């Protein structure tokens, strides 16, 4: 008798759009079913998101998955035991709505035919199997090569993750001949192939016109092609951990920004072949084709993205954060700094700032579960600050847009709101946006950042206070990142946050935006706004070091240290 699947019965009954199957019980039922997905899954045509991960018993999807679930836009099958044959049965037909496919950690030695594993597709052949696929994760498998059929199977691919395989060459067979039309992967902006066995990075890499981020760290590369500098949009390239013969290049790869490495490759290529003029024309042609005016403007503005570090020893009144021992068991990691010279007065600057912070929470912070950002108006922060813990019923805060409330009641309100949203959208679980609410489950004390007046200005990972809210009149920021995972995650997030603020600051100055009279973010503005781009773009943002110490004054963290902000982006120049 076939094992019962109550999750599938509930999903069919409630007409769910999302389904996640995990755990030992699921693995036992899959094993009992011969290592394939249950047939009941094919009776859920409304399903848009399916995740089945960490199931070593799953060896094949079973036939008809693609035909039965045409609305799927997210398919996560990571950490299973799927092979090309087992995948091919389920992915044998098109999935027209699929945008994300995660096959990481399956031990694949070859790709299924649907993903081009059977070799190049025939000219004038069938329509793309995955016409909307944006992200493909093949990390942690045993792939030795990729076929050119992937380019036609997923023409809209933007992100290809290949780390932890056994690839010998890149792009290798991934790209068809250079004269092929249409050009393969016209939108691919992120390519990760770290921790492989890549011995050759071919000049064909320049055939990826939208490539912005390349990671080939920890491979076997002994040389880098000069053509790498011809990628018209490449901004970040991780080339570390390769046995490069050129010792100067090796030092640059380990210590310099991407822009400097590309300039070196470009000049070296000029000396070797005298083809720089041809490459320059090719880059300009490609930039013009892809909206190159904006790209050239961005390239010219790279030098304007400046950041100056003010060290604690040079600061007459440095901010200090004291961390109490109680945070060790709740949320032990915190990194802080002060950022001066931010422009938020012009029209939509505050809205862009808050939108950027939200995106960082979604991406690098993993919906606040890895880390949480809090930004404060420095003028409203009364130091020194104390990072400690309080019982939920005693911790009182005035959250953004709400009245004063204790943490226990606030968390209950947010959980009720999350559950109501789940029911409205007919989801199996609360959305990823609300998963951070579960981080405090079972905690006797909650973390908080308290100012010198005893006012709670931050309650991570939930909210910060209305008292120190960012407004149009804000010029100087106190930035805070906390995590229960690691200190390095805090630093990585802070690096990304400062880079984003610097980019927004430059955008505001270069677009000569004028301030509006007033809005919900601040009181009415008064006085003219200085929008002289020549004057403003020469003024770097100033980041002041902030020390986090224990209650006895012993240093725990200093940010930014000399190693922080060093490799965050080639767009950022740090003056130390």
Query: What is the three-state SS of 483-547?
Result: ECCCHHHHHHHHHHHHHHHHHHHHHHHHCCCCECCCECCECCCCCCCCCCHHHHCCCCEEEEEEE
> Which CATH code is given to the segment(s) 303-512+532-575?
3.50.40.10
Residue 42 near residue 68 (C-beta atoms within 8 A) = yes
For residue 137, pLDDT beyond 90 = yes
What's this model's pTM, rounded to 2 decimal places?
Answer: 0.50
Token digits of residue 456: 């709670």
Percent over 90 (pLDDT), the chain: 49
**Measured CA distances, 180 to 3, 69, 169, 176 (Å):** 50, 33, 20, 6
> pLDDT for 402-419, tens place per residue?
899 999 999 999 888 888
Q: Give the C-alpha separation, 185 to 194, whole Å.
A: 20
Token digits of residue 385: 């600050």
Token digits of residue 506: 């430059």
How much is the pLDDT for 63?
79
Q: How are the residues of the chain apportioned to helix, strand and coil, as percentages rounded to the nearest 5?
A: 35, 20, 50
Q: What dihedral do alpha carbons 291, 294, 299, 304 form, nearest 10°?
A: -170
> pLDDT for 318-367, tens place per residue?
999 999 999 999 999 999 999 999 999 887 889 999 999 999 998 889 88
How much is the pLDDT for 301?
44
CB-based contacts of 248, cutoff 8 Å, min separation 6? 264
How much is the pLDDT for 562?
87
Overall CATH class of domain 6-117+128-300: alpha beta
Phi, psi for 361 (deg, rounded to 5): -60, -35
Token digits of residue 19: 């389904």
Q: What dihedral do alpha carbons 502, 508, 509, 512 form, nearest 10°?
A: 170
Q: Give the C-alpha separation, 493 to 335, whole Å.
A: 10
Residue 537 near residue 304 (C-beta atoms within 8 A) = yes
In 211-271, DSSP assigns E strands to 213-215, 236-238
**In the chain, which residues fall in CATH 3.80.10.10?**
6-117+128-300
Of 89-98, 130-139, 223-232, 431-440, the range with the lowest mean pLDDT is: 431-440
Task: Tell me the CA end-to-end span of the chain in Å, nearest whole number.
Answer: 70
Residue 389 near residue 330 (C-beta atoms within 8 A) = yes
> pLDDT for 466-476, tens place per residue?
999 999 999 99
How much is the pLDDT for 211?
94
User: Angle of helix 487-510 relative to helix 349-362, nearest 10 degrees?
Assistant: 150
**In the chain, which residues fall in CATH 3.50.40.10?**
303-512+532-575
For residue 394, pLDDT beyond 80 = yes
Q: Give the C-alpha separation, 124 to 117, whole Å.
A: 18
> pLDDT for 460-510, tens place per residue?
999 999 999 999 999 999 999 999 988 989 999 999 999 999 989 888 887
> pLDDT for 70-80, tens place per residue?
999 999 999 99
For residue 526, pLDDT beyond 50 = no
Q: Give the C-alpha separation, 512 to 515, whole Å.
A: 10
Alpha helices in 4-157 (DSSP H): 6-14, 24-32, 65-68, 84-90, 149-153
436 or 201, which is more confident? 201
What does the pLDDT average to over 56-63?
85
What does the pLDDT average to over 162-183?
78
Residue 541 near residue 341 (C-beta atoms within 8 A) = yes
Among candidate residues 247, 245, 267, 141, the one with its CA nearest the CA of residue 193: 141
Alpha helices in 54-148 (DSSP H): 65-68, 84-90
For residue 530, pLDDT beyond 80 = no
Q: Give the SS3 label for residue 440.
A: helix
CB-based contacts of 412, cutoff 8 Å, min separation 6? none
How much is the pLDDT for 494?
96
**Measured CA distances, 155 to 93, 139, 184, 288, 422 (Å):** 16, 20, 7, 22, 33
Residue 191 near residue 219 (C-beta atoms within 8 A) = no
What does the pLDDT average to over 114-127?
57
The label of the residue with tokens 């991570």 reads: 460
How much is the pLDDT for 529?
32
What does the pLDDT average to over 128-157?
90
How much is the pLDDT for 415?
87
For residue 269, pLDDT beyond 80 = no
Residue 111 near residue 146 (C-beta atoms within 8 A) = yes
Average model confidence (pLDDT) for the chain? 83
Phi, psi for 244 (deg, rounded to 5): -70, 135
Percent over 70 (pLDDT), the chain: 82
Q: Give the C-alpha separation, 518 to 523, whole Å.
A: 6
* The length of the chain, given as a count of residues: 576
Residue 477 near residue 339 (C-beta atoms within 8 A) = yes
Residue 283: band (very low, low, confident or very high) from pLDDT cuts 50, 70, 90: low
Residue 399 near residue 496 (C-beta atoms within 8 A) = no
């Amino acid at each position: 008798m076939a094992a019962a699947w109550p999750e599938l019965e509930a999903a069919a009954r409630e007409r769910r759009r999302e389904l996640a199957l995990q755990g030992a019980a699921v693995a036992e039922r899959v094993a009992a079913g011969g290592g394939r997905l249950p047939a009941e899954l094919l009776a859920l045509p409304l399903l848009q998101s399916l995740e089945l991960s960490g199931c070593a018993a799953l060896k094949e999807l079973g036939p008809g998955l693609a035909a039965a679930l045409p609305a799927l836009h997210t398919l996560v099958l990571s950490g299973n035991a799927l092979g090309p044959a087992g995948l091919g049965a389920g992915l044998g037909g098109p999935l027209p709505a699929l945008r994300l496919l995660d096959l990481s950690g399956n031990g694949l030695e070859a790709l299924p035919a649907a993903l081009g594993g059977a070799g190049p597709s025939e000219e004038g052949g069938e329509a793309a199997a995955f016409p909307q696929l944006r992200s493909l994760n093949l990390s942690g498998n045993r792939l030795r090569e990729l076929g050119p059929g992937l380019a036609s199977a997923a023409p809209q691919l933007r992100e290809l993750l290949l780390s932890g395989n056994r690839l010998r060459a890149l792009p290798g067979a991934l790209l068809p001949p250079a004269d092929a039309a249409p050009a393969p992967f016209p939108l691919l902006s992120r390519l990760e192939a770290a921790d492989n066995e890549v011995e050759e990075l071919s000049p064909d890499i320049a055939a990826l016109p939208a490539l912005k981020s390349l990671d080939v760290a920890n491979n076997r590369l002994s040389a880098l092609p000069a053509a790498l500098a011809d990628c018209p949009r490449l901004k970040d390239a991780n080339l570390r951990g390769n046995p490069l013969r050129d010792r100067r290049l090796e030092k640059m790869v380990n210590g310099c920004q991407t822009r400097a490495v590309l300039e070196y490759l470009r000049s070296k290529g000029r000396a070797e072949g005298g083809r720089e003029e041809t490459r320059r024309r090719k880059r300009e042609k490609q930039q013009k084709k892809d909206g190159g005016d904006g790209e050239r403007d961005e390239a010219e503005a790279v030098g304007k993205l400046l950041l100056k570090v003010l060290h604690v020893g040079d600061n007459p009144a440095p901010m200090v954060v004291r961390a109490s021992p109680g945070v060790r068991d709740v949320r032990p990691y915190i990194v802080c700094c002060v950022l001066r010279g931010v422009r938020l007065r012009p029209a939509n600057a505050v809205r862009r700032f808050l939108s950027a912070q939200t995106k960082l929470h979604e991406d690098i912070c993993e919906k606040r579960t890895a880390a949480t950002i809090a930004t404060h108006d420095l003028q409203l922060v009364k130091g020194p600050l104390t990072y400690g813990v309080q019982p939920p019923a005693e911790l009182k805060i005035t959250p953004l847009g709400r009245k004063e409330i204790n943490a226990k009641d606030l968390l209950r309100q947010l959980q009720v709101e999350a559950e109501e949203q789940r029911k409205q959208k007919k989801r199996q679980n609360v959305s990823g946006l609300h998963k951070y609410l579960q981080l405090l489950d079972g905690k006797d004390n909650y973390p908080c950042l308290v100012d010198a007046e005893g006012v709670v200005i931050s309650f991570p990972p939930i909210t910060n206070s209305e008292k120190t809210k960012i407004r149009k009149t804000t010029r100087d920021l106190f930035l805070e990142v906390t995590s229960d995972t690691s200190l390095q995650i805090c630093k990585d997030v802070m690096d990304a946050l400062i880079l984003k603020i610097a980019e927004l600051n430059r955008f505001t100055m270069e677009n000569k935006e004028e301030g509006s009279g007033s809005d919900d973010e601040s009181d009415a503005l008064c006085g003219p706004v200085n929008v002289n781009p020549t004057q403003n773009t020469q003024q770097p943002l100033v980041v002041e070091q902030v020390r986090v110490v224990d209650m006895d004054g012993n240093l725990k963290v200093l940010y930014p240290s000399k190693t922080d902000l060093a490799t965050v982006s080639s767009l950022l120049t740090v003056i130390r």
